[in-house]
Amino acid sequence: MTLKSIAELGHKILFFGSDSFAYPVLKSLHSHSKSNPEFISDVQVVTHFKTSKSKKITNQVEQYALDQSLKIYQPIGQTPNNRKAEWQQFYQSELFQNNSFNLGIVCSYGYMIPSYIIDRFTEGMLVIHPSLLPKYRGASPLQYALLNGDKQTGVSIIEISKLKFDAGRILKQSLFKIPREFTYTDLSNSLAQQSSIDIIDVLAKYKEYKQNSLEQKEEEYTKAPKFQNSDTHLNFEIEDNQQIYNRYRCFKGTNFVSVRTKYNSKEIIIEKMSLPNAKEQEQLKLLINSKPGSIWAFKQKSMKNYVYVKCKEGFIRIDDWRFFDQLSRPAYTFVDQFINREQMSQDLQREGYIYFQKIETENKEQSNA
């Protein structure tokens, strides 16, 4: 049975989204509108920040809409500190006066949409959220799944809630098992693709999904608020190697870039981190008494290109690193620049002689993920 034959109506959609996660969803909706206009008759776009060449920031939703000649609106952020007036102006604009949208779809938009705008959609509004709600309501569900070492997460398509974020009735959920090596970028890309599939399925059987929708269980609700720059700072004294690695997975690929530490009063960003393999772990057992934060290098061919750091328990391996304002470089360059192998070999107590330090203060590269 085709989408054309099972769709109850030709959906006229106003899509709200602004980042790389939302882009595949918009692309899927638009593709179906071109191939089957009786299923999706129109897609127009609302987004909230413009591509900045100077800051090397791309709004992929905006860029796609421009490339495909979709109608695009950016009502929020034009007038600082006056969001209420901006929404009112948007509501009174030609968009709502001259168009009758039956459905709104929200995906990584980031703003609470006023109830008087929600009420303009005859079939309501849907929200696409990358977690198995009610777990991880909020701005950072992908990151919390990785930080907490979750083995699975998923995508939820829900009705929009007028009272709070991510609290509406659940229409559809898809489970996704998280590979151990996945970073934020990997997980975001995978769930974005799943979202682009799931939303089409929901639209094709919209009445059925609405009738079978479920209330969220409030007793299972957990938060996923925005992170701060300080959350990217590594503390080898209080976190074991799995926790350190999960923190790296959480932030790698976000607006924060990655996790960071300090050496000789200079901030270091860890561009790539791994957990040691079984062979490496055997060698690292010799350093079981080393202090957290101590930095180690080895002459063996299989280990000489890396740097190893003692955590509260266990070790992590650094593959690539850079100073705050420089390009990424392989870990062996850190060895060549800072590690005296002869002095290290003379450390008979195996406690370590050079260390990464915890960053104590905020720096200028502060942003939200």
* CA–CA separation, 362 and 229 (whole Å): 7
Give just the sign of the alpha carbon dihedral 130, 84, 97, 163: positive
Q: Reply yes or no on whether the pLDDT at 237 is more than 80.
A: yes
Which residues fall within 8 angstroms of residue 345, CB to CB, at 6 or more apart? none
Q: With a cut of 60, say whether residue 1 has pLDDT above it.
A: no
Q: Give the integer Cα–Cα distance in Å for 3 and 237.
A: 56
pLDDT in tens, 85-115: 999 999 998 888 877 899 999 999 989 999 9
Segment (H or E) for 42? strand 40-46
pLDDT of residue 244: 98
Rounded (5°) CA angle 48-52-323: 120
CA distance 203 to 310: 51
Contacts with 7 (C-beta within 8 Å, 6 or more apart), sequence order: 38, 39, 203, 204, 206
Q: In the prediction, which pLDDT does 29 show?
A: 98
Distance CA 369, CA 248 (A): 14
> Rounded to whole angstroms, how far apart are CA atoms 49 and 75?
10
Better-scored residue on pLDDT, 307 or 355: 307
Dihedral angle over CA of 159, 160, 163, 167, nearest 10: 50
Give the pLDDT mean for 343-366: 61
Cross-sheet strand order for the sheet of 152-159 = 72-73, 40-46, 11-17, 103-107, 125-129, 152-159, 170-177
Neighbours of 369 (CB within 10 A): 20
- Output the CA–CA distances (angstroms, integers) from residue 286 to 2, 305, 331, 347, in the order listed: 63, 19, 21, 12
Domains of the chain: 3-220 (3.40.50.170), 229-345 (3.40.50.12230)
Residue 2 pLDDT class (50, 70, 90 cuts):
very low
pLDDT tens, position by position, 46-70: 998 665 554 556 789 999 999 999 9
Reply yes or no on whether the pLDDT at 270 is more than 60.
Answer: yes
The pLDDT of residue 298: 86
> Given a cut of 90, is residue 138 above it in pLDDT?
yes
The C-alpha atoms of residue 64 and residue 157 are separated, in whole angstroms, by 23
